[in-house]
Amino acid sequence: MRGGKAVNKSDNELVEQHVDFVIKISILNKGLQAIINIEPPRDGGMPPNLDSIRAKLDAMNIKYGINEKTIRGICNNPVYNRDIVIAEGARPVNGKDGSYKILFQTDRDMKPKEREDGTVDFHDLEIVENVKKGQVLCTIEQPTEGIPGMTVTGDKISSLKGKSIPNLLGKNTKYNDDKTAILSTIDGQVYFTQNRIFVNETLVIHQDVDNSTGHIKAIGNVIINGAVLPGFIVEAEGNIEVKGNVNSATLKAGGNIVLRNGAVGSKIYCEGDLTIKFVENSNIFVKGDMKAAYIMNSNIKCGKTVQTVGSISKIVGGICIAGENIVARTIGSVAAVKTHLELGTDSTIIERQQELLKELPELDTKIKSLQSLISLLQQYQAANRLTPEKKQILDNALSTYRHINASIIDGKQELEKITESIKSKGYGRIVCSGTIYPGTTAKIGSMKMKFSEPMLRKSLYYTEEGIAIGTVK
């Protein structure tokens, strides 16, 4: 409130005009704070009082989070020319993201047990986890709703609901009634792949795969108690286990393969890990790890590590390509059989990189379209012209925007990791705990090495100058 200063009305008369305090209130921090600043009275003007401050707050529609104690303090002990927080809004609290806990082992060690005499037990692998119908496979905590905030003018500030967990349901699984758990719907074998939980039924063949059975094709897992004879094909979306030999046959598995004996002249395609007693004159493609007692004159392509185990532990002849490491006791032979070892990038990684390079620009285009739609609808909202139908469209657009934006962030992070992984793939190792014989060639990254004389207990790894040789203890 303002009065005036002393002025001369005439030469003989002096009239004093007083200047009362001046209140300035500012709304800051996106409506979450109101700041008061009071100019002091002059020439005997009036100090601030409760009614004048409250009137100013009412005029600015400030009605939430007002600190009455602070107001009274200002009036009782005035503080001038200083910003004081007089009201505070409430910040929104976003909801908690959903989470889950898988109750079975998702990464099983398929390494066979080595006996004291150096031989390997290919029978007791314990790689299968059986579950019963109705068994809880995973517990779930659902996302929580957020708590809205409030500005000092009483406007609601929206909060975000926590992110939902991805869809984990695979074949033969279901949610319980309140979606706090995932259950198996059958008796079978459980596994986690492609970010989903699956339970597969198992097909058991109690004899050889031959003319009496024909080719085998199963949705779940397959156990063959006999051998797979020449010309026959065994396909399974899950795991394959063969207790006899695989002779000039073909195996294809969407999961793991266990051959308790070996494969001769065969073709094997494995999306998971391969454990086999021996391999001779065969073509092998495995995306995970491969373990065998020995490998002879075969073409091996492995996404991760090729390891020969036990007292024999050798790779002789053929081509062996691995995404990570190659480990053996003996490489090559005294007869200088041509044996080629190579460490390179897993083809599935390259495929995923190409997928992301295609997907990310498409997602970026979608999110730009959503931004335009959201901006238009928010203009309607600001002008109080948003109909219930348009409000629903806006809510859906915002939800989709958050989902796509999260996908873009995750995709960029994955692409960055893949790119770095590809760059560093040349740093895998070829490890030989015994002898590397002449006739062996090694390629790691872009570097090559040919052996013309035997070498004992060596480890080969990539450097920018060439393949370096270390000593295996």
pLDDT one-digit tens code per residue, 379-401:
988 888 889 998 999 999 999 99
Total of domains in the chain:
3
Last residue within a domain, chosen from 343, 367, 390: 343
Asked whether residue 373 is assigned to any structural domain, the reply reads no
Tell whether 273 and 230 lie within a shared domain.
yes
Confidence of residue 18 (pLDDT cuts 50, 70, 90): low
Structural domain span for residue 187: 99-197
Q: Distance between CA 18 and CA 102 in Å, rounded?
A: 77
CA distances from 399 to 1, 67, 132, 150, 381 (A): 49, 36, 38, 21, 17
What is the phi/psi pair of residue 353, to 5°? -60, -45
Q: Distance between CA 428 and CA 329 in Å, rounded?
A: 17
CA distances from 212 to 206, 209, 456 (A): 12, 7, 50
Last residue within a domain, chosen from 164, 197, 230: 197
Token pair 């190792």: residue: 429
Asked whether residue 352 is assigned to any structural domain, the reply reads no
Q: Please say if the pLDDT value at position 3 is more than 50.
A: no
Asked whether the beta carbons of 330 and 314 are under 8 A apart, the reply is yes
Tell whether 205 and 334 lie within a shared domain.
yes
Tell whether 336 and 249 lie within a shared domain.
yes
pLDDT digits (tens, 9 = 90+) for 200-247: 888 888 899 998 888 988 877 899 999 999 999 999 988 999 999 999
The model's pTM is 0.54
Q: Please say if the pLDDT value at position 470 is more than 90.
A: yes
Q: If you write DSSP's letter for every residue of 294-319 in order, what string do you get?
A: EEEEEEEEESS-EEE-TTT-EEEEEE
Last residue within a domain, chosen from 295, 313, 343: 343
Three-class SS state of 60? coil
Residue among 218, 211, 472 nearest 325 (CA): 472
